[in-house]
Amino acid sequence: MDSTENSISLPFKEDPICSKIKMKVRQALLALGNSPDLHIYEWNDTFLNERSFRPEARYLQRAKRFYERLDPFQKRVLISECLEFGRVYPFWYYGWVSEPAYRKERKAVLKALKAEIK
């Protein structure tokens, strides 16, 4: 048995792209009159569509479309590693997958995020 398979590592540092995206999302929510802490799954499509003439609304629409294409586990990865980094228990995934599997999934989600949202 490989000892690294079951080892526990320290929580990840915030990815610089995620830090930028989190800041832009919070600013966009504020600019549109919402709480910066509004969860992505609570964003109202009608509200965003009615304000789609504003760049902030279009940015949030892109982020939400990306989120909606993810599977349930990937959604949790995006929320915990990017949108709400530091607010979620860092080892939440232990009941779901091993550390190496989580690292692989995290890497894939962040790579897709970087390619699509910026």
Per residue in 16-57, pLDDT tens? 888 888 899 999 999 999 999 899 999 999 999 999 999 999
Full DSSP string of 39-59: -GGG--HHHHHHTTTSHHHHH
Domain boundaries, the chain: 16-116
Q: What is the pLDDT of residues 62-114, one digit of tens each?
A: 999 999 999 998 998 888 888 876 666 666 677 778 888 888 988 899 899 88
Residue 100: its pLDDT value, please?
85
Residue 27: its pLDDT value, please?
96
| ∠ Cα 85 66 99 (to 5°) | 45
Contact 60, 43 (CB under 8 A): yes
Q: Is the pLDDT of residue 1 over 60?
A: no
Residue 118: its pLDDT value, please?
66
Give the span between the Cα atoms of 1 and 15, in whole angstroms: 31
